[in-house]
Amino acid sequence: MKTLSALLLLICCAISPGLAADSMPGKGKLLVATELVRGSDFEESVILLLHYDENGATGLIVNRPTLAPPTRALPEFEELERYVGNLYYGGPVGLNTIQALLRSSSPLDRSIHIIDDIHIVPINEDLIDDSTDSSTLRLYIGFAGWAPGQLDAEMLRGSWHIAPASGEFIFEADPENLWHRLVPPVTMRAAIEKGSNRIRNR
């Protein structure tokens, strides 16, 4: 794990020395799939990292809305009948679980702060009021997960670009176009691929 992280840092420094620290994965960062990621759940995905350390990483795909209302997954929560918005596909892991992201300067009890005014919050009767909709609350079925060292290896292959997260991106009004806004330019992708090829050929 430490070796992979060190190699990744070297690549980041070679590409853009001034941005190396911001180019490392971590809680509250965005993973933006590069064009190398094809034919999988993660193609053209943007993922908010919720956790990243030597034990692995987890996150939520934030640009994959579904057509399903949340009441289909959580029929026991009658309060969701008032919610205006659909479920998001958070990732292929734990498809029997629902995660909630709230954008608020006054988070609920037992909230977990992620970045700025973004929090993971428990799903309960206090979550929904008459003003709650998808501009401040989003519900995700499933999540993305990586074993120890797995995400680092994928980054070394050039599969992911790191971008700073913000409430604007996470709660993008047109999430299906978010990837096109954040995907790195061709020159960046070429540099990532060149750096990862050098490491593989050593």
pLDDT digits (tens, 9 = 90+) for 118-170: 999 988 877 887 668 889 999 999 999 999 999 999 999 999 999 999 999 99
Using CA atoms, how far residue 129 sits from 83, 100, 192, in Å, is 8, 15, 45
- Whole-model pTM over 0.85: no
Fold of 2-200: VC0467-like (3.40.1740)
The two tokens of residue 49 are 């990292």
**Beta-carbon-side half-sphere exposure of residue 15 (alpha carbons within 13 Å):** 29
Per the document, the length of the chain is 202
The two tokens of residue 51 are 């956790």
Mapped onto helix, strand or coil, the DSSP state of residue 73 is: helix
d(CA 40, CA 37): 7
pLDDT in tens, the chain (202 residues): 544 444 444 444 443 333 344 678 999 999 999 989 998 899 999 999 999 999 999 999 999 999 998 888 888 888 788 888 899 999 999 999 999 999 988 877 889 999 999 999 988 877 887 668 889 999 999 999 999 999 999 999 999 999 999 999 999 999 999 999 998 765 344 545 555 555 555 5
Domain boundaries along the sequence of the chain = 2-200
Q: 88, 66 in Cβ contact below 8 A?
A: yes
Burial of 38 (0-12, 13-18, 19+ CB in 10 A): exposed
Q: 43, 37 in Cβ contact below 8 A?
A: yes
